[in-house]
Amino acid sequence: MDDTCIFCSIDRETLAENELAFAILDRFPAATGHSLVIPRRHVLTMDELTGEEALALFALIRQVKTLLRERFGPDGFNIGINEGEAAGQTVMHLHIHIIPRTRGDVENPRGGIRKVLPCRRRYRHGEGPA
């Protein structure tokens, strides 16, 4: 546990939880229902997880997706991890984003997370920026 880490000392309602992880709504959501799945143990990267922790995180992802489908009726999800400052991680405690998506929420969703680097978002020849 890291006393300076907001995820280690969080005091908020959880969406779901198990012995090794918990899920909360993101305070700065990219979309309605944007949630975070977080290991209870303070780790920075996926590489530091035990096998049991990894299984617990993925079990919660499935559970949270079910909850979000029931509450918000999304058409799809983006699920991702920002690992390290260079990848945009702002809270240095591993967390997995679950972002519900609906048809029409962006003009062209094709390529999904490939669009993280605008200069590399071409999905197929002739698509995206040159």
**Considering 34, 42, 93, 95, which one is annotated as catalytic?**
95
Coil, strand or helix: which one is 116?
Answer: helix
What's the half-sphere exposure (Cβ side, CA atoms, 13 Å) at 50? 9
Q: What is the Cβ-side half-sphere exposure of residue 106, based on CA atoms within 13 angstroms?
A: 12
CA distance 73 to 94: 27
Q: How many helices (H) and strands (E) does the chain have?
A: 1, 5
Question: Is 95 a known active-site residue?
Answer: yes
Q: Which residues are catalytic?
A: 95
